[in-house]
Amino acid sequence: MNAEGESRHERIEALAERAHEERERFVPPENPDERALSYLTDGLWPVLELYIGARSSGEGFSRAEHAALEDALNEWLELYALCYGAGIDAAFSVRETAELFVETHSVRDTAQLLTHVPTRR
């Protein structure tokens, strides 16, 4: 349980549900950078924080939790890409994404390197 009394399973479900709701009401933003960053800080980062925290403390995930966490991660990355007009079918592993984040120390760089959106100059 976290400080708010939510179990890890409940946190995963909430992240997945929020991503799904955002996807259903998605409208291309006027300012793609701002919206994309909000998807990263409010969606991708909590997914990574949950995964990295559990792995750092030696906790494992059930298959169902792992699958749900990975589904949420990919939906947040798809939303991020949609901000820039790129429809992607994300299929990244949460482990791969967390390892990249540990290397870059940036959710924005992690998302860009995985999705190639926006194109680097």
- What does the CA dihedral 85, 71, 91, 77 come to, rounded to 10 degrees? 30
Residue 121 maps to a domain: no
39 and 25 Cβ atoms separated by less than 8 Å? no
pLDDT at residue 26, as a whole number: 97
Quickly count: other Cβ atoms within 10 Å of residue 91's Cβ: 8
Is pTM beyond 0.85? Reply is yes
3 within some domain: no
Q: What is the pLDDT of residue 6?
A: 80
Measured CA angle at 79 (ends 78, 83), to 5 deg: 115
Q: Residue 90: inside a domain, yes or no?
A: yes
- Give the total number of structural domains in the chain: 1
CA distance 47 to 32: 21
* Residue 32: predicted pLDDT: 96
Low-confidence ranges of the chain (pLDDT < 50): 3
